[in-house]
Chains A and B, each alone.
Chain A
Amino acid sequence: MILKISSKMNNEALASFLIANVGTLIVIIAWWIVASLELINPVLLPTPIETFKSLFVSLFRGDLIKDFWLTLYRSLYAFAIAVVVGVPIGILLGSNQKVYRSFEFLIDFFRSTPATAMFPLFLVIFGIGDFSKIAVAAFAGALVVFFNVAYGVMNTKKTRVMAAKAMGIPSWKIFVDVTFLETLPQTFIGLRTSISLTLVVIIVAEMFIGSTHGMGQRIIDSQQVFDMPQMYASIIATGVMGYALNQIFLIIEDKFVHWKGR
């Protein structure tokens, strides 16, 4: 009986695993078929086996890991700056409608300007070293954090603030106990968007602002020498990084902002 139940549960777990991954499998199989039949020039599209082989070889040689960590380090560095700068400014501007309105045009302008357009400017300011890449990414990330925090503060439920006011709680305590927590769901949306964006900008910066190491550099280098399996492998590794960062943030979010959307 117990065996039956556990085997049933295993079947269910297997079924849900299959459902969640069947799309991925179909794409990999299609890729494999297309590449094996050489429907696309094999120089441009290696088989999945070649690609994953290249991925594992470079993983064990250690050079991919080094690039991986460097890109991750740069992205997190940029993200950290984005948070430290974006959150306080967001709170400041969000809690003061007049200040926000006076900066609204500038905010919208820079939000609509691609951060990558600022590369040359940041190169001039910070030089061609590592920090100029981090600075551009931080700039892009901070805008997103700041905007979401400000938006969260501005859209605090008035009723909750009034409820605290009716209890005779002083304004600064209301800010700490109510407004701040109230903004958390929106803040987390900003943080999650920001980490994705800093990764994007770092990768682009590594590709086009001369760089020593990093996944962006690695992808463009393997493209230059037509090492297609390595290029695909590096793209996949970068994708894993982006996906993992997003998932980690979702887990943190679910834990800290359990009331989100309820």
Chain B
Amino acid sequence: MHLDLVGASENQQGEKLLSTGIEVKNLTKKFHKEILYQNFSLSMPGGQFTSIFGPNGCGKSTLLSMISGLIPFDSGEVYFGGKPLSETKIGYVFQNYRDALFPWLRASDNITYPLSRAGLSKVQRKLKLEELVHRFGVKFDLKRYPYELSGGQQQLVSIMRALATGPEVLFLDEPFSALDYEATLSIIEKLQEVFISSGVTMVMISHNLEEAIYLSNNIVLLTKRPTHVAEIISFDISHPRTVKTLSDPRFIDTKSYSLDIFRREVNK
């Protein structure tokens, strides 16, 4: 029941019902005549956690914004499980939660805002909110305004808002980089729980390799501009991952291998 309301992509036996993969084909984006992306192609499997990692200024955020339709691109195609964006429900979590939440709405109304705009009744919205509160184990008062909450709580509200409509894909643009260490750890775990229970396809930009590998099935390493994929590394230790994962030889190998490629790309 819970699973049905949020995510809607895995039943209780754990079978994938639908999981939306993402296909980026021949994406080209120029910015003031400089080529940012040219014929960039990438496919991200559905129901998996993919992290995007790359040198500063290679346009990670731009890539995520283009895929999710927030900014236009010059040419190319993006498909979600074979459908265009217009037929796909997405969720998006921004790095700067302070600028992304609506300060005039209480935390609870922030979360249900996309639902009210989707035409859901008050009762339906309340049910979904309770559902999300239960799923995220929220202990703080959602009747407060965002500016009355801590950074970690605000980012949690952002994630809940992004998941409220039950999106097929959740985009996360450096969701932890404005948070302190404690809040980062707690949100990483919440995110992992939601990922496991809902099976929503997640795509995250990260500037922290350790966090990225810890959560991901796939790590996409990008090059400097003009940006293309340097390598896609898969990391297939099953979720949930724990503190032990961090000392697992496979984790350490993946990390040092990724770091080697990253260094090679940065110094090119």
Cβ of A121 to closest chain B Cβ, rounded Å = 41
Interface residue stretch chosen among A51-59, A112-120, A167-175: A167-175
CB neighbours of A160 from chain B (8 A): 99-102
Contact of B114 with A by CB under 8 A: yes
Inter-subunit contact B96/A167 (CB<8 Å): no
Contact of A181 with B by CB under 8 A: yes
Contact of B90 with A by CB under 8 A: yes
For A260, the closest partner residue in chain B by CB is B103
CB neighbours of A173 from chain B (8 A): 117
We find that the number of chain B residues with CB closer than 8 angstroms to chain A is 25
Please measure, in the bound complex, the distance between the C-alpha atom of A262 and the C-alpha atom of B165, giving whole angstroms.
28
Inter-subunit contact B145/A167 (CB<8 Å): no
Inter-subunit contact B96/A166 (CB<8 Å): no
Interface string of A184-206 (1 = CB under 8 A from B): 10000000000000000000000
Cβ of A33 to closest chain B Cβ, rounded Å = 48
Please measure, in the bound complex, the distance between the C-alpha atom of A162 and the C-alpha atom of B162, giving whole angstroms.
12
A157-B99, A162-B94, A166-B92 are contacts. A262–B104 as well, Cβ < 8 Å? no
Interchain CB contact (< 8 A) of A167 among B65, B99, B114, B146: B114
Contact of A163 with B by CB under 8 A: yes
A162-B70, A166-B92 are contacts. A181–B102 as well, Cβ < 8 Å? yes
For B71, the closest partner residue in chain A by CB is A162
Please measure, in the bound complex, the distance between the C-alpha atom of A166 and the C-alpha atom of B91, giving whole angstroms.
7
Cβ of A141 to closest chain B Cβ, rounded Å = 26
Inter-subunit contact A259/B145 (CB<8 Å): yes
For B115, the closest partner residue in chain A by CB is A167
Cβ of A183 to closest chain B Cβ, rounded Å = 11
Q: Which of B81-128 contact A (CB under 8 A)?
A: 89-92, 94, 96, 99-104, 113-114, 117
CB neighbours of A178 from chain B (8 A): 102
CB neighbours of B257 from chain A (8 A): none
Inter-subunit contact B117/A169 (CB<8 Å): yes
CB neighbours of A157 from chain B (8 A): 99
Q: Which of B132-185 contact A (CB under 8 A)?
A: 145-147, 162, 165, 171
Cβ of A164 to closest chain B Cβ, rounded Å = 8
Q: Which of A17-31 contact B (CB under 8 A)?
A: none
Contact of B216 with A by CB under 8 A: no
Inter-subunit contact A163/B103 (CB<8 Å): no
Contact of A159 with B by CB under 8 A: yes
A168, A173, A177, A184 pick with most chain B CB within 10 angstroms: A168
A162, A169, A258 pick with most chain B CB within 10 angstroms: A162
Inter-subunit contact A163/B117 (CB<8 Å): no
Cβ of B50 to closest chain A Cβ, rounded Å = 18
Inter-subunit contact A159/B99 (CB<8 Å): yes
CB neighbours of B94 from chain A (8 A): 159, 162-163
For A167, the closest partner residue in chain B by CB is B114
Contact of B206 with A by CB under 8 A: no
Cβ of B98 to closest chain A Cβ, rounded Å = 9
Cβ of B166 to closest chain A Cβ, rounded Å = 12
CB neighbours of B92 from chain A (8 A): 162-163, 166
Please measure, in the bound complex, the distance between the C-alpha atom of A218 and the C-alpha atom of B17, giving whole angstroms.
81
Cβ of B116 to closest chain A Cβ, rounded Å = 10
Contact of A165 with B by CB under 8 A: yes
Interface string of A134-162 (1 = CB under 8 A from B): 00000000000000000000000101101
Cβ of B250 to closest chain A Cβ, rounded Å = 34
Interface string of A227-262 (1 = CB under 8 A from B): 000000000000000000000000000000011001
24 pairs of residues in contact across A and B, judged by CB atoms under 8 Å: A160-B99, A160-B100, A162-B65, A162-B92, A162-B94, A162-B100, A163-B94, A166-B70, A166-B90, A166-B91, A167-B114, A167-B165, A168-B114, A173-B117, A177-B102, A177-B117, A184-B104, A259-B103, A259-B104, A259-B145, A259-B146, A259-B147, A262-B103, A262-B147
The 7 closest A-B pairs by CB, nearest first: A259-B103, A166-B92, A262-B147, A159-B99, A167-B114, A163-B100, A157-B99
Interface residues of chain A, those whose CB is within 8 Å of chain B, are 157, 159-160, 162-163, 165-169, 173, 177-178, 181, 184, 258-259, 262
Extra pairs beyond A165-B69, A166-B171 (8, CB < 8 Å): A159-B100, A162-B92, A166-B69, A167-B117, A168-B90, A184-B104, A258-B145, A259-B103
Interface residues of chain B, those whose CB is within 8 Å of chain A, are 65, 68-70, 89-92, 94, 96, 99-104, 113-114, 117, 145-147, 162, 165, 171
